[in-house]
Amino acid sequence: MVDYDALRARIRALTQGETDEVALMATLACEIHNSDDRFDWTGFYRVVAPELLKIGPYQGGHGCLVIPFSRGVCGAAARSGEVQIVADVEAFPGHIACSSTTRSEIVLPVSGKSGRLIGVLDIDSNRADAFGQQDATRLAEILEEVFDGV
């Protein structure tokens, strides 16, 4: 299980003063991915055009390159602005199977200054029902702290 206090402290120390979105995403993807063995794929999808996400920095196997807001768990998070916790990806309507090993997923919207949607943080697990409300709350706190000034 993640020690979210230690993770937040490491991320704070590593990202202090940084404002480049891609550098921040790369650092967070690495730190979050290596913080818990439940995390099989950890990465960001960036908003690159209206209603369109494109893969950003990540850790793990290959991810999907492009995801429209209208498809998948990442699209649902971008479209709704709400965290998506999916206990069983097979039961999620329109799930995009970027990896055949993914069993559950959590996706959080990432916003910058003035609430501008920058992208989403996507974490996949090869375990069913791997994520809960504590993960959503603590990851959202980290994302807000890191990206609030960007």
Residues 6 or more apart from 44 whose CB is under 8 A from it? 25, 28, 29, 55, 56, 57, 58, 110, 119, 120, 121, 122
Would you place residue 60 in the very low, low, confident or very high pLDDT band (cuts 50, 70, 90)?
very high
The domains of the chain, with CATH numbers, are 4-147 (3.30.450.40)
Would you place residue 66 in the very low, low, confident or very high pLDDT band (cuts 50, 70, 90)?
very high
Residue 47's nearest CA partner among 147, 149, 137 is 147
* pTM listed for this prediction: 0.96
Q: Please check whether residue 133 is in contact with residue 141, taking contact to mean a CB–CB distance below 8 angstroms.
A: no
Residue 26 pLDDT > 80, yes or no? yes
pLDDT digits (tens, 9 = 90+) for 108-133: 999 998 899 999 999 999 999 999 99
**Residue at token pair 């998070």:** 77
pLDDT digits (tens, 9 = 90+) for 14-23: 999 999 999 9
Residue 97 pLDDT > 80, yes or no? no
**Three-class HEC string of 75-128:** HHHHHHCCCEEECCHHHCCCCCCCCCCCCEEEEEEEECHHHCEEEEEEEEECCC
Residue 56 pLDDT > 80, yes or no? yes
At 66 the three-state DSSP class reads strand
